[in-house]
Structure 1
Amino acid sequence: MSLLAAGAQRAARTGTGRLYEIDLLRIFAAVSVVLYHYLFAGYYKVVSPLGFEVPGLLARYGYLGVDLFFMISGFVVLLSAWDRTPRSFVVSRVVRLYPAYWVAVSLTALVSVLFGAGRFPIGLVQYLGNLTMFNSLANLENVDVVYWTLWAELRFYLIIFALTFFTITTRRVGIVIWTWLGLTAVYQLGVLPSSADLILNTQFSHYFIAGMALCMIYRFGPRPSWLVLVGLCLVNAVYRGVQFAGDVEDRFHTTLKTPVVVAAIVLVFAVMLAVALRLTTRLARPWFVALGALTYPLYLIHAHIGFIIFERLGDQVNKYLLVGGTTLLMVAAAYLINRYVEKPLAPRLKRGLE
């Protein structure tokens, strides 16, 4: 029996319960980004005194963890939005995003002001604008460099929000994602004005679109049209990914190997396709949820606070011990935010919004 046929049979006889393997993928993506910043990007952007020549050769590709994040979002956000009303969808996103984010913005701002020695200057208007998560609309700089991905996520949520005004069906999802991919191609040809990218989000749209298509495969089986769409998204992901790698090279005055970038992107698609086809269910473990819960707060707090720690202690502590200890500290902080902020505040915030 082919893999596609096996996936179809699993889709037919399995419900849409929690995908524990997605939680594992989330924490893997987060750790990849953390190592990218700690072992490579911080040093090359001259915000960290710690350089790692050999580990940095691998860690420099860790930014591709964000690509995995975006595809997971396309998958799980559409899955969670199914049968929701617009109000319910907005509430679910606010409850999911804001409690940990408010703490992360405040903590990062406080540490930057008290210990950053002016390296990451933060003004009151900038801080307040960041609390809304819409600071990019007002051209206010992010309190932490990693928050740029949240702006990409919010623009994707707007598309799902529009879908929730209608009953979400396979036909309507198909219309949306084929149209979105088509407009992405038209934009890349230079036909549409640059302002169109505010909605189309063309640098990463292929990941969100592919994630949505994989969600449909997960729910309804591997129809040829969905598989073709995923394949087209992969082609564009490689095309834009190679371009983006060139931007990374220019920004950090380094070299990235194109075959490695392409292989990583293909691997992201392959792993997520395996999840959608339910080929990974035997690998899933309920305790992966505990790891997945750390992903969002870990991602939010690690960068600037970590760089400040490196700057303060880099000449006093072995750099490997310092990176390892700081990473553990960030994981512990992520646990505390999840345990004492997200879990108790989320239900209260939900009740208040409802």
Structure 2
Amino acid sequence: MIWSLQVLRFVAALMVVFLHAVQSAARISGIGIVPYELALVGSAGVDIFFVISGVIMATVAPGRTAAEFIRARLLRIVPIYLLCSIAAIPIVAIGPALGWRNILATVLLWPATDRMVAPAIGSAWTLCFEMLFYAAVALVLLDRRWLYVLLAIFSGAFLLRWVGPVFQFLGNPIILEFVAGVLIARVGKVRWGFAMLPLGICALLLAAWFMVIPNGYNELFLTGEQNIQRVAVLGIPAILIVYGTMHIQSHRSIWTYLGGASYSLYLVHPILLSGLAVVWVLYPVGPNVIVTIGIFASVLASLGVHERIEKPMIARMKRTISPEAMSAGA
């Protein structure tokens, strides 16, 4: 375990929560003290997650069978995700429609049919790519020759993205951020590596200053229409930030605990913010109050979910499934 990256996971999740809280405030009562262009830096939390995911896959996968790897990752990701999705479905049902595409995207995390549709939890569009990553790693663990097939599939799908949603999904440029995470894990630490962290932070702030951060919606991120720009202005800084953070010596602490709860935070906060939005419409408050309450309530709620639901659920399932799953958990 690279403990500094565990802390960075919490920071990345908090960045996303902050952006979504600002967006919620903007819809209800306007922009607060933080300019919206600066708040968009929070979207880089997703890119940081993708790079970290590549690092983690490159670290935990070697020496495991494909079955051990995929079992451990599904156990870590799917149960709490499905539970949160059940809570989110009533919110989606209030919207224009809840059709078979939404159900397919939610249950299978496959968003591409005749058109692109995000899962019930909007931010879970990133999990669609995580599942794609896990499948790719499992295939390579089965036979390394799959690596060349996967590279060919990605390259071909990228060139054929104009054909439709399946090609847009499989050839999405954001996949390169996962690949970058694998590569920097292979590179390892170097003497000047820590300098990449402040460099990456400065690059993000410059992107906000020059107003070049893409501002889209979940289905647009899935199609990848803005993702070449996203990889350039958010992905490259994310790579620098993750690589620099890898050089920080860290140990177990309250911050690594919060990092462990970051997945719950990522899943819970959209549901909580949607519920709070109803309250704020009925009882209007200023945007700064909305952002502050939204962030703190999301963190507190996610800690409760992590401690009382996520951890016991995973522990119970590990005991139930097999001893192999326990040794394969990450």
The TM-score, its normalising length taken from structure 2, stands at 0.73
Match in the other structure for 1:225: none
**1:313 corresponds to:** 280
TM superposition shift of 1:289: 2.0
Partner amino acid, structure 2, of 1:37 = H
Residue 324 to residue 126, structure 1, CA distance change in 2 (3 Å): farther
Quote how far apart the aligned CAs of 1:146 are: 0.8
Provide the C-alpha distance between the structure 1 equivalents of 2:107 and 2:252, rounded to a whole number of angstroms: 33
Aligned pair 1:34/2:17, yes or no? yes
Distance 2:135 2:295 in 1: 33
Q: 2:247 aligns with which of 271, 274, 279?
A: 279
Q: Which residue of 2 aligns with 1:202?
A: 172
Partner amino acid, structure 2, of 1:319: P
Give the structure 1 partner of residue 265 of structure 2.
298
Q: 2: distance between equivalents of 1:334 and 1:34? A: 11
Distance 1:279 1:61, change over 3 A: closer
Task: Give 1:201 deviation, angstroms.
Answer: 3.8
Q: Does 1:132 align with 2:107?
A: yes
| 1:328 matches 2:296 | yes
After TM superposition, the structure 1 stretch with the greater mean CA deviation from structure 2, 55-64 or 147-156, is 55-64
Once the two structures are superposed, residues 173-224 of structure 1 have per-residue CA deviations (whole angstroms, 9 ceiling, x without a partner) of 9x83x87667655655559965773674432121111111122223xx77xx
Distance in 2 (CA, whole Å) between partners of 1:60 and 1:157 is 28
* Aligned partners of 1:155 and 1:198 also within 8 Å: no
Q: Residue in 1 aligned with 2:83?
A: 103
Q: Which has the larger Rg? A: 1
* Alpha-carbon shift at residue 279 of structure 1 (Å): 2.5
SS at match of 1:279: coil
Instruction: Measure how far apart 1:149 and its partner are.
Output: 0.8
After superposition, residues 85-164 of structure 1 pair within 5 angstroms as 85-110=65-90, 112=91, 118=94, 120=95, 123=98, 129=104, 132-136=107-111, 141-164=118-141
In structure 2, relative to structure 1, the CA distance for the partners of 1:266 and 1:130 (3 Å cut) is: closer
Residue 352 of structure 1 pairs with residue 307 of structure 2 = no
The 3-state SS of whatever aligns with 1:106 is helix
Q: Distance in 2 between matches of 1:91 and 1:36?
A: 33
Matched residues in 2 for 1:347 and 1:268: separation?
32
Give the Cα–Cα distance (whole angstroms) in 1 for the partners of residues 118 and 243 of structure 2: 36
Query: What per-residue deviation string (whole Å, max 9, x for no partner) do you get for residues 67-119 of structure 1?
Result: 11111111102311221112211210121012221221122235x27xx9x3x
Check whether the contact 1:72–1:211 (CA below 8 A) recurs between aligned residues.
yes
- Cα drift, residue 321 of structure 1: 2.2
> Residue 106 and residue 127 in structure 1: after superposition, are their counterparts in 2 closer, same or farther (change >3 A)?
farther
SS of 1:339 mapped into structure 2: helix
Residue 291 of structure 1: how far off its partner (Å): 1.2
**What is the CA–CA distance in structure 2 between the aligned matches of 1:260 and 1:196, rounded to whole Å?**
20
User: Does 1:211 find its partner at 2:177?
Assistant: no
Distance in 2 (alpha carbons) for counterparts of 1:137 and 1:183? 16
Partner Cα separation in structure 2 for residue 350 and residue 122 of structure 1: 37
Which among 52, 67, 73 is matched to residue 72 of structure 1? Answer: 52
* Structure 2 residue runs without a partner (length 5+): 191-209, 221-228, 323-330
Partner-residue secondary structure (3-state), 2:251: coil
Q: Residue deviations 1:104-160, cap 9 Å, x none? A: 1122235x27xx9x3x46748677646524352566652121111111111111110
Equivalent position amino acid for 1:280 in 2: I
1:339 counterpart letter in structure 2: E
Whole-Å separation in 2 of the counterparts to 1:137 and 1:70: 20
Structure 1 gap segments, 5+ residues each: 1-17, 167-171, 223-241, 252-258
How many residue pairs match? The answer is 289
Cα distance change, pair 344–247 in 1 and its aligned pair in 2 (3 A):
closer
CA distance in 2, matches of 1:50, 1:181: 46
